[in-house]
């Protein structure tokens, strides 16, 4: 291996092409897999955006103290959406455009940061972050996680670059503080980065470096935080209202957490379960490449790799062992969207691991063996990702040859790097492309069409709908439901009294009634059960899996 070339693949063509590919695949996934509203969270964010856009939003909490909703305090989730509503109206696309832009923004920041300096790192990180299935999946919903991920990446880059700059360190410090404040206004889990920030601050103070940057960052950050606390003091008489609101939510949900209802599983949650979960979501590739970067740091490793490795390690430790509460210990839920603060540093660290392999594939065989072990352990559809990349690393390592061979077989060349990125892109694309080809599980577009054509003003009467639509039907009308229409659950059919001559309709969305995400808890009946409840019906309209019946 010592005779391999150490030619640095410096061409920006690789990150340029990667950016184009990631953007196009993200857009294709966004439009081809869109399923409308997902749950209560995105509906609440959308409703707050409408209130803000229409001037009916109340800053102060519910005067009766009945509504305790921490989502209302995440201004930078629904605030930009309110602007989009004013520009484009209320549609599912304008509702989810902000998460999409934040996701694409992550790819753009990675490209701008490392395109010229480390093209393999830029391209690898863009693929690992942008083509991660759950990154793409979260573009479809008005959830805070991809938006927070964008702010987290910007915060990390500003801290790294701000401490490098000999010019304008004060401006970088101000930007760092503002970006973290923006993250706080999006979701509280920016706190994952706090241990790393404190560690870097302590190190710089010990070495007496970057004083102007930190003075500006801490000063502006303290001013912003003080203003924020004063804002809550004015409107709620509690400067720490947001913290108390989170604690109140934790108290309300404690029956299902590890301390009350699942204490026996706490040991597993703090030991092997996070690793099993990360591997199961497909992040094992990034973890192994980051480990390769950590193991190869003594062999001419780029100094910035240590920065991203340390940020990834501290964030992972917080995710693994941290608590959602300040008053009692309750570990963070192991669901994919909770990992978004981890993704930027982890994928960048993995990018440096891929760079190390491209320069000298000494670690190729153990990477292949570890990936193959992940595939065998999971033994499911995700195994295709691990097995395919295991095959690539093994074959690429075996075929690697000295400088007098074909360019694609010479480590350190652009051809060898391009082949690595091509293999990574191909394997990461399999799952998103599979879901892009699947039929809709919500029938959102068909349902929107039926409502717009047949249940609009001046229609009057009662519409019987499923238990999912009953919670968000007003979204389909831009939160302005025609005054003559009433929506009721199927189960209310026997209790609703119609006036003489009043019309009634039955709306049946077969996709909703068979959606596995809903049938586990919410939907407890089938299409046949619904139709049996309304025997006297006539078909008015059918679009795809959605039928509208008139009820006699």
CA distance 281 to 291: 18
Say if residue 4's pLDDT is above 50.
no
- Residue in 236, 501, 284 with CA at minimum distance from that of residue 382: 284
Q: What is the pLDDT of residue 6?
A: 39
Say which range, 65-79, 106-120, 141-155, has the weakest mean pLDDT: 65-79
pLDDT, tens digit (0-9, with 9 covering 90-100), for 200-218: 999 999 999 999 999 999 9
Say which range, 3-17, 164-178, 374-388, 528-542, has the weakest mean pLDDT: 3-17
- Which has more pLDDT, 140 or 64? 140
Helix 284-295 / helix 273-280 crossing angle, nearest 10 deg: 110
Average pLDDT over residues 134-148: 97
Average pLDDT over residues 411-415: 88
Q: How far is CA 61 from CA 143, 236, 241, in A?
A: 22, 7, 10
Omega into 458 within 30° of 0, i.e. cis?
A: yes
- Bridge partners for 485 per DSSP: 461
Indicate the Cα dihedral angle 513, 517, 523, 527, nearest 10°: 10
Sole residue written with tokens 């103070």: 205
SS3 (DSSP) at 485: strand
pLDDT, tens digit (0-9, with 9 covering 90-100), for 427-455: 999 999 999 999 889 999 999 999 999 99
Q: What is the pLDDT of residue 257?
A: 62
Q: What is the pLDDT of residue 298?
A: 62
CA distance 509 to 426: 35
Q: Are 507 and 481 in contact (CB under 8 A)?
A: no
pLDDT, tens digit (0-9, with 9 covering 90-100), for 316-373: 999 999 988 887 788 888 999 999 999 999 999 999 999 999 998 888 999 999 999 9
- Bridge partners for 464 per DSSP: 488, 506
- Residue 212's CB is within 10 A of a number of other CB atoms, namely 14
- Edge-to-edge order in the sheet of strand 504-509: 485-489, 461-465, 504-509, 546-551, 537-543
CA distance 487 to 505: 10
- Residue in 510, 131, 121, 500 with CA at minimum distance from that of residue 345: 121
Say if residue 167's pLDDT is above 90.
no
Q: Give the global pTM.
A: 0.94
Question: What SS3 string covers 467-483?
Answer: CCHHHCHHHHHCCCCCC
Sole residue written with tokens 């690898």: 124
Q: What is the pLDDT of residue 291?
A: 95
Q: What is the pLDDT of residue 363?
A: 87
Q: What is the pLDDT of residue 2?
A: 35
Strands 504-509 and 546-551: antiparallel
Q: What is the pLDDT of residue 217?
A: 97
Q: How far is CA 465 from CA 455, 472, 483, 498, 505, in A?
A: 12, 11, 17, 16, 9
Q: What percent of the chain has pLDDT over 90?
A: 75
- Residue 12's CB is within 10 A of a number of other CB atoms, namely 16
User: Phi first, then psi: what are they for 548, rounded to 5°?
Assistant: -115, 125
pLDDT, tens digit (0-9, with 9 covering 90-100), for 474-521: 999 999 999 989 999 999 988 888 787 789 999 999 999 999 888 888
Indicate the DSSP class of residue 117: T
Q: What is the pLDDT of residue 323?
A: 87
User: In the structure encoding, which two tokens stand for residue 308, read together?
Assistant: 């991203």
CA distance 306 to 48: 41
- Residue 461's CB is within 10 A of a number of other CB atoms, namely 17
Say if residue 255's pLDDT is above 70.
no
SS3 (DSSP) at 281: coil
* Ramachandran category for residue 124: left, alpha or beta (phi over 0 → left; psi -120 to 50 → alpha): alpha
Q: What is the pLDDT of residue 496?
A: 84
Q: What percent of the chain has pLDDT over 70?
A: 93
Say if residue 548's pLDDT is above 60.
yes
């Amino acid at each position: 291996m010592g005779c391999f070339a150490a030619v640095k693949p410096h061409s920006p063509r690789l990150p340029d092409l990667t950016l184009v590919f990631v953007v196009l695949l993200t857009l294709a996934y966004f439009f081809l897999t869109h399923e409308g509203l997902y749950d209560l969270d995105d509906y609440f964010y959308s409703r707050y955006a409408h209130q803000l856009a229409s001037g009916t939003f109340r800053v102060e909490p519910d005067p009766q103290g009945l509504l305790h909703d921490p989502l209302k305090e995440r201004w930078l989730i629904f605030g930009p959406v309110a602007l989009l509503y004013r520009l484009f109206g209320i549609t599912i696309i304008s509702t989810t455009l902000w998460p999409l832009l934040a996701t694409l923004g992550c790819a753009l920041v990675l490209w701008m940061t490392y395109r010229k300096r480390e093209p393999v790192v830029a391209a690898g990180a863009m693929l690992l972050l942008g083509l991660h299935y759950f990154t793409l999946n979260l573009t479809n919903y008005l959830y805070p996680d991809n938006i927070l991920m964008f702010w987290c990446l910007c915060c990390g880059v500003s801290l790294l670059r701000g401490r490098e700059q000999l010019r304008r360190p004060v401006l970088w410090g101000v930007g760092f503080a503002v970006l973290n404040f923006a993250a706080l206004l999006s979701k509280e889990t920016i706190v994952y980065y706090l241990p790393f920030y404190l560690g870097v601050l302590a190190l710089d103070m010990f070495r007496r470096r970057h004083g102007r940057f930190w003075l500006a960052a801490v000063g502006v950050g303290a001013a912003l935080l003080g203003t924020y606390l004063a804002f809550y003091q004015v409107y709620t008489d509690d400067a720490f209202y947001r913290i108390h609101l989170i604690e109140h939510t934790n108290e309300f949900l404690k029956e299902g957490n590890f301390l009350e209802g699942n204490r026996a599983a706490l040991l597993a949650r703090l030991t092997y379960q996070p690793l099993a979960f990360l591997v199961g979501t497909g992040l094992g590739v990034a973890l192994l490449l980051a480990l390769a970067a950590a193991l190869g740091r003594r062999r001419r490793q780029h100094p910035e790799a240590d920065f991203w490795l340390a940020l990834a390690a501290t964030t992972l430790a917080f995710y693994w062992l941290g608590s959602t509460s300040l008053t009692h210990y309750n570990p963070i839920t192991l669901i994919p969207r909770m990992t978004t603060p981890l993704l930027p540093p982890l994928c960048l660290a993995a990018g440096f691991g891929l760079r190390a392999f491209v320069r000298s594939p000494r670690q190729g065989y153990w990477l292949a063996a570890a990936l193959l072990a992940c595939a065998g352990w999971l033994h499911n559809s995700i195994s295709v990702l691990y097995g395919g990349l295991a095959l690539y690393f093994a074959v690429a390592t075996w075929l690697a040859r000295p400088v007098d061979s074909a360019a694609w077989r010479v480590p350190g060349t652009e051809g060898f790097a391009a082949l690595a990125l091509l293999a990574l892109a191909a394997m990461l694309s399999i799952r998103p492309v599979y879901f892009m080809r699947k039929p809709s599980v919500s029938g959102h577009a068909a349902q929107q069409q039926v409502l717009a054509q047949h249940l609009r003003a001046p229609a009057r009467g009662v519409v019987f709908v499923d238990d999912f639509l009953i919670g968000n039907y007003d979204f389909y009308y831009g939160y302005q439901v025609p005054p003559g229409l009433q929506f009721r659950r199927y189960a209310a059919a026997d209790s609703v009294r119609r006036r003489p001559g009043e019309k009634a309709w039955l709306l049946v969305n077969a996709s909703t009634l068979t959606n596995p995400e809903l049938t586990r808890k919410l939907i407890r009946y089938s299409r046949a059960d619904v139709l049996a409840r309304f025997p006297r019906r006539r078909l008015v309209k059918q679009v795809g899996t959605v039928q509208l019946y008139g009820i006699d």
